[in-house]
Amino acid sequence: MFVWAVKFGTYKNKFLIQMKNRTVKVTAANIGVAREMFGLFIAYCLNKDDSEVEDDVLLIPVPSKDALKNAATYRSLEMLEEAMVGRDFEDRVTDGVRWTKKLAKSHEGGHHNREYWKPHLEVIADVDGKDVVLIDDVLSTGGTLLAMMEVLEEAGANVLFAVVCGKTVYDCQLKPYGRQEIELVNEIHEYEGE
């Protein structure tokens, strides 16, 4: 429910957010708290003592499928802008990459690898010589994140890391919640379905 609320900014079902010293019950009346908490997590990741992040870093959302070149805005950009309101790095949110054509959503056309996504991504911001942190709603295979990293690096950016709201879990033995660090070099292929 949390990832849904962050991704779409809409209410589906009530759920709880467990914080260090309190629990927040999220309902239709306070659904915005989900994006607020994601923004808090992003700021935490950017401000960690071991972080390489400088004040001039660009926060670039992985574009949602509605992020076409001629669109005024798109869902994942709005998600990130809303999440960062009133936080450090709020002014570093950057519309940096767009899709060159309309593509099927992952759940409509199956998962694709980075080689599929990469030719359809276009860098539209000046990223040459700049540090970048990618922001995404869900990590499934990592194909889109890896394609984003490659097109940005080819345009001269230094991609430091990515922050994602949630991860698709195929193995019930894995811990589904909490902070997790994943080194993403190749796509993740955990699903062993029939």
Residue percentage of the chain with pLDDT more than 70: 82
Mean pLDDT within 91-107: 89
- pLDDT value at residue 187: 57
Q: What's the CATH code, domain 35-167?
A: 3.40.50.2020
Q: What's the whole-model pTM score? A: 0.85
Residue 68, SS3 per DSSP: strand
Q: Cβ distance 139 to 164 under 8 Å?
A: yes
Alpha helix positions (H), the chain: 2-8, 32-47, 75-83, 106-109, 114-117, 143-154
Q: How far apart are CA 186 and CA 189, in angstroms?
A: 9
Residue predicted with more confidence, 26 or 191 = 26
pLDDT at 80: 96
Segments making up each domain of the chain, as ranges: 35-167
